[in-house]
Amino acid sequence: MFEEERLEPVTAEEQSESQEAQELRELREQLAAANARADENYNRFLLAAADFENFKKRTERDLRRTLIDRRRGMLERLLPVLDNLERALESSGEEQALRGGLEQTLRGFRAVLQAEGVRPIEVEGKAFDPHVAEAIETAQAVDGVADDTVVRVSEKGYTIDDELLRPAKVIVAKREV
């Protein structure tokens, strides 16, 4: 019932062993707590890694679907243009009917490009800008035309949503030196 009280004095060695045992117990408890936290953190890491992989797969799938839908939409808008071109070529051969069909096709193409954010770059009569145009030739500058002015556009340039899609190919005025 009652613990017997020790009558013998505790030696320094016994006291040191008792403190070491207490410290060892505390260290084991700390180690067990640290291991429990490490296990919990590792499990959280595994869950986060799995969530991230699922997120990546879902994002890739959504992006692929968006690109397919966008491409499909653009191609669907191009099909009537193709139909008009085919009708123009099937016309009875009348020059006016053919011209009308080609003009209609051109309007259709321009409408599709405009819907996609594509805009032509207006450079003729303006100072040459190498950021939006490529000089493919030079021409003798005439009176009233400044040096490095675009005098003719060989191939139109285009932007898409204010970014260069294709530079214009131009002929630039140069004064002979």
Residues 126 and 97 in one domain: no
pLDDT at 9: 67
Residues 103 and 134 in one domain: no
Residues 55 and 105 in one domain: yes
Chain center to CA of 107: 30
Q: Of 28-37, 78-87, 131-140, 161-170, where does mean pLDDT reach its minimum?
A: 78-87
Task: Examine residue 101 and state whether it is found in any structural domain, yes or no.
Answer: yes
Asked if residue 1 has pLDDT above 60, the reply is: no
Q: Which long-range CB contacts under 8 A does 83-91 form with residues at least 24 apart?
A: 84/108
Asked if residue 82 has pLDDT above 80, the reply is: no
Task: Examine residue 22 and state whether it is found in any structural domain, yes or no.
Answer: yes
Residues 73 and 153 in one domain: no
- For residue 117, the SS3 value is coil
CA-based angle 107:113:114, to the nearest 5? 85
Instruction: State percent of the chain over pLDDT 90.
Output: 45
Residues 136 and 90 in one domain: no
Which helix (H) or strand (E) segment holds residue 172: the answer is strand 168-174
Residues 90 and 59 in one domain: yes
**Mean pLDDT of the residues in the chain:** 86
Residues 41 and 103 in one domain: yes
Q: Of 10-14, 104-108, 153-157, 161-165, where does mean pLDDT reach its minimum?
A: 10-14
Residues 56 and 128 in one domain: no
Task: Examine residue 145 and state whether it is found in any structural domain, yes or no.
Answer: yes
pLDDT at 4: 56
Q: Which residues contact 148 (CB under 8 A, 6 or more apart)?
A: 127, 128, 172, 173, 174
Residues 153 and 123 in one domain: yes
The residue whose two tokens read 């053919």 is: 98
Task: Examine residue 3 and state whether it is found in any structural domain, yes or no.
Answer: no
Higher pLDDT: 135 or 74? It is 135
Residues 131 and 167 in one domain: yes
CA-based angle 109:106:172, to the nearest 5? 95
Question: Last residue of some domain: 65, 99, 116?
Answer: 116
Higher pLDDT: 38 or 90? It is 38
Q: Which long-range CB contacts under 8 A does 67-74 form with residues at least 24 apart?
A: 74/112, 74/116
Residues 35 and 111 in one domain: yes
Range of the domain at 33: 10-116
Residues 88 and 169 in one domain: no
pLDDT at 177: 44
Chain center to CA of 167: 22
Question: Last residue of some domain: 116, 138, 166?
Answer: 116
Which structure tokens are listed for 118? 């594509």
Asked if residue 171 has pLDDT above 80, the reply is: yes
User: How many domains does the chain fold into?
Assistant: 2
Q: How far apart are CA 128 and CA 167, in angstroms?
A: 12
pLDDT at 36: 96
Higher pLDDT: 22 or 97? It is 22
